[in-house]
Amino acid sequence: MNLKVINSYTTKYIKPIVLSKGDIVKLGKEEKQEKWLGWIWAESDNNSGWIPKQIVKSEDGITGIITENYTAKELNANADDILSNIRELNGWLWVKNIRSGEEGWIPKENVERIIES
């Protein structure tokens, strides 16, 4: 599905957390805002950042094991950019910019679906 950026977005984190399947992380606070529910703060040996709860398995809520490769890389996008939607998690979309080929996360609220006629 193709999307059009309706509100420009600029990356909030210069050095996003990158995790591999099997990595162990220390878990922190969970996001409380309704539109971002499902995200949890995680700390690895070399970085920290928000990760989707769907990719972490935890027995105690303090530490967790990552169940799939993940990057928190966000995508800078300008209004009217056309994106291809790859994955949706907790109010965010993993997308590919059709023009540049660059991939990353963008808030779902910043885009609208292109209706093809």
CATH code where residue 105 lies: 2.30.30.40
State the Cα–Cα distance between residues 33 and 15, nearest whole angstrom. 23
Kindly list the distances between the CA atom of residue 88 and the CA atoms of 11, 59, 80, 84, 101, in Å, as whole numbers in the listed order: 18, 25, 20, 12, 18
Per-residue pLDDT reduced to its tens digit, 12-46: 988 999 999 999 999 999 999 999 999 999 999 99
The parent domain of residue 37 ranges over: 18-71
Question: Do both 78 and 62 map to the same domain?
Answer: no
State the Cα–Cα distance between residues 22 and 62, nearest whole angstrom. 16
Per-residue pLDDT reduced to its tens digit, 54-85: 999 999 999 999 999 999 999 999 999 999 99
Nearest CA-CA partner of 87 in 66, 65, 103: 103
Q: How many domains does the chain have?
A: 2
Q: What 3-state DSSP class applies to 62? A: coil
